[in-house]
Structure 1
Amino acid sequence: MVVMFMPSQAGAPTTTPLPYTASPLKLLVSDVILCLSCIRYLPGILLPLKPYSSGKLDELYPSRGNLTALAVHGVLIVYQVAFILSLPVLLFLPIYICLFYIASVFLLSNRICAFLNGRQRFLVSHVPLPRSDHESEHWIFINGVGVGRHWLQSNLDRLSLTFGRKITGIHNETAGIIFDVIQCLIQRCFCYATEDVRDAYVFVKQTLLNEKYEKIVLILHSQGGVEGGLILDWLFDALDDKTLGKLEIYTFGNAANHWNNPTRKYTDQGKPERCIPHIEHYVNSEDFVAMWGILDFIRIPSRYLGDVFIRQGSGHLLNQHYLDTMFPLSHDKRQVLGENEFMRQNVKLISCGSTPKNTDFTMATEKLAQNRDIDGIGSKLRDYSRLWRYRNGASPD
């Protein structure tokens, strides 16, 4: 097996319309059609069900907290699907009955979700770490669809074990998987910033402006990619190049329809230098959410900046389907293995659907070839993944 690798595009001018600047209603209709066209991959969100390589940290491990979350989500899925199917009936009812019915449905749904979400917006990892030299770094995580407080804490602890750092989580509260997907489409089509997006923007901006930190690492999963993309677009307007240069971004199963990283200056050789120095996207090829997110929109030249690594397989859960396959833990579950099947796989270079003569693709492949010549390395994934070099408290710098 090989990993598909699309190096970051150069962002050359293109006549292709930007996907997020068209009519919001047209975008929404297009997104609904796109989402429905991928519906046969819906079971791939939870598959494979095993193994539980991270033990109780895996979302489908049969622990009390996980089983409770799954049971509540099961109730919400049935409840919300039934509500959507009942909507045509409202056309034949008086308006006041319709309003009362809709308000009642959302009120009960919110009450059920409150049980999953808890009350905290910000959480931190609980993994005990040895004293390290990472005091000048701040790692931040924004979760994806369907994640309540319990799963967010598991995500934070797994990330902390993986990278040997304290992780701060900003809770993107779940409204149930069905309503989360709808919210996701609304957020990216209408550029709608929910309360958690606004809270996250303030937190990330304050952290970037804090002179104590020299490096800010932002990790995003699923819908967290949509929210992170909105936050990033705001940051480009608010902060200078030096401050933005402290930021690194890594995404998993990104659901966003674009990813910007504008050029602010050129080197003496005429090569562009980006505002954000390091962006990497990791994705499973049959991840239902990613199929109407990153996997569809990377085909548009110049609109999904950052290196893209595509693993052949299904699954959308952060711990069980991404971290367990890309950053598996040792048998004692205390650190990441030094070698694994995913990082040993060969890399197959792909373009964004453009020809090899496309300026973006040519510049990206030239950069890739230069890096290989300098490092004297082969075509294994571990040779190109910057995030891999952060494992177990290490640093790529």
Structure 2
Amino acid sequence: MTCPGEEGTPLPYTASPARLLWSDLVLFVDKIWALPGIFLPLHLGHTGPWDEFYPSLRNGFIVVIHIFLMIYQVAILVSLPVMVLFMIPALWILVYFTGALLINYVIVMVGLNGFRRILVSQVPVAERPGHDRECWFYINGIAAGSVWVQMNVDQLSSTFGRRIIGIHNRTAGIVFDMIECLIQRDFSYATGDIRDSYALIKQALLNPECDKVVLLLHSQGGIEGGLVMDWLLGEFPHDLLCQLEVFTFGSAANHFNAPRWTKLATSDKVSTTDLVHQHGNSIGYIEHYANAADIVALGGVLHFVDIPNRFMGRLFVRPSSGHLLNQHYLDNMFTLGPDHRVLESNQFMDMEVEPCASGINSYLDSSHRVKYRPIARDKGFLTALSQQMQTNGIDRVLRVKDFSRLWQYRNGESPEVHVRRNTE
């Protein structure tokens, strides 16, 4: 990485919170052209009951509440400096602000969030052998009340044929959620839902009856999941962390740590020929999925991913806009049929992958990138895979589905190679 502060280089995520905050504000202004892309394309005629903007009275009510909260919260923030300018006594300002926040809290808790922190998928799934030894978690992004989070976990459950546990990152309204994102991201501050997520994931990793923990993250959930991983990396040994698999959609995080470990094995008499290196990844698997014109991803994973050792994992970029999990990500990347099973073909997964010599980060053997006309980073790996396919009599172009580990979990299936608990 180039020296911190050099022009064109993002600040390290350990820099001064004030400098990070200013940098994020500048970044937001720079990417504001993509703001409408959060909701577009709508295609309301092609939406289903699990889609966030599906035309129903329930979703319409949620959208109306969010619009009201946006206006209300902007008015609160604008009124504070006006009150100071007119020299209103500080005590009255404090009373006014406290009352405004209390009203906001009542609206979001009654109208959007509910009072349950944990939401479990409610769709029936036919679990296969081994599924009982897996734990799947989901952390949502901004502006998601309990109704939308339930829709998220239900679609994820149908997509991957497993029970999904949703850890609700409660919304406070879009404006206040964005402020919370900046506090979490720039100050590395762990809010209550981050602490709850850490406790649940830690418990699953320590459970001897659980062989695999899968963490699905969306938007602000990428920030929260990244902070959870920072804690896990500081506490857990590799033989437990290798059971963790992380998959993000439109991640807003500014870093995603997963240091590689190297074990040096030697004999009693050390010589050059006796040295044997064993390599491994701290986290079992990490994959990131992003829409190219999603402003959240543009200020998150897409902005930081090419910095060495900053944003670890494979990255797959779809040449489109949209930030909603079900409507813009899952519907296009893991398209469901009428029977709520993932179709074996969709435009994104069928996109051709081309090798690129440069790496996405410093671990060239574990990273790929798919962008526009999809590009997969790590030419050596692609060449080896292509040769292996030809050896096995498979002569075809390489596509996104050939590299996506998450794709292998569709419809209750599992990758051929499983991460198993080290019992030695």
Query: Do both share a fold (TM > 0.5)?
Result: yes
Does the alignment pair 1:386 with 2:405?
A: yes
Q: Tell me the CA shift for residue 129 of structure 1.
A: 1.3
Q: Is the 8 A contact 2:307 2:361 kept in 1?
A: no
Does the alignment pair 1:338 with 2:344?
A: yes
Bigger mean CA offset, 94-103 vs 233-242: 94-103
Residue 49 of structure 1 aligns with which residue? 42
Does the alignment pair 1:128 with 2:142?
A: no
Superposed, 1:1-397 pairs within 5 Å as 14-17=1-4, 19-51=12-44, 53=46, 55-92=48-85, 93=87, 94-115=89-110, 116-133=112-129, 134-265=131-262, 272-330=279-337, 332-349=338-355, 360=363, 365=378, 366-376=380-390, 378-397=397-416
Q: Is the 8 A contact 1:54 1:329 kept in 2?
A: no
SS in 1 for 2:166: strand
Give the distance between the partners of 2:183 and 2:262, measured in 1 at CA.
Answer: 34
Q: Tell me the CA shift for residue 105 of structure 1.
A: 1.8
- State the AA in 1 paired with 2:304: F
SS in 1 for 2:353: strand
Instruction: Classify 1:357/1:144 alpha carbon distance in 2 versus 1 (closer, same or farther; 3 Å).
Output: closer
User: How high is the sequence identity, in percent, across the aligned residues?
Assistant: 47
Q: What TM-score do you get using the length of structure 1 for normalisation?
A: 0.90
SS in 2 for 1:248: strand
Give the distance between the partners of 2:227 and 2:387, measured in 1 at CA.
Answer: 36
Q: Which has the higher contact order (CA 8 A, sep 6+)?
A: 1
Deviations 1:248-290 (A, max 9, x none): 0000000000011011225887574211121000000111111
SS in 1 for 2:216: strand
Deviations 1:120-168 (A, max 9, x none): 0101101111242211111110000100000000000000110011100
What is the CA RMSD across the aligned residues, in angstroms? 2.1
Q: Tell me the CA shift for residue 313 of structure 1.
A: 0.7
Q: Tell me the CA shift for residue 60 of structure 1.
A: 0.2
Unaligned runs of 5+ in 1: 1-13
**Number of aligned residue pairs:** 380
Q: Tell me the CA shift for residue 53 of structure 1.
A: 4.9
Q: Which has the larger radius of gyration?
A: 2
Q: Tell me the CA shift for residue 371 of structure 1.
A: 3.1
Instruction: Classify 1:117/1:237 alpha carbon distance in 2 versus 1 (closer, same or farther; 3 Å).
Output: same
- State the AA in 1 paired with 2:387: D
- State the AA in 2 paired with 1:109: N
Deviations 1:53-112 (A, max 9, x none): 561100000122211211111111111122222233132222122212221221111111
Instruction: Classify 1:207/1:357 alpha carbon distance in 2 versus 1 (closer, same or farther; 3 Å).
Output: closer
- State the AA in 2 paired with 1:95: A
Give the distance between the partners of 2:277 and 2:325, measured in 1 at CA.
Answer: 39
Q: Is the 8 A contact 1:52 1:60 kept in 2?
A: no
Q: Tell me the CA shift for residue 182 of structure 1.
A: 1.1
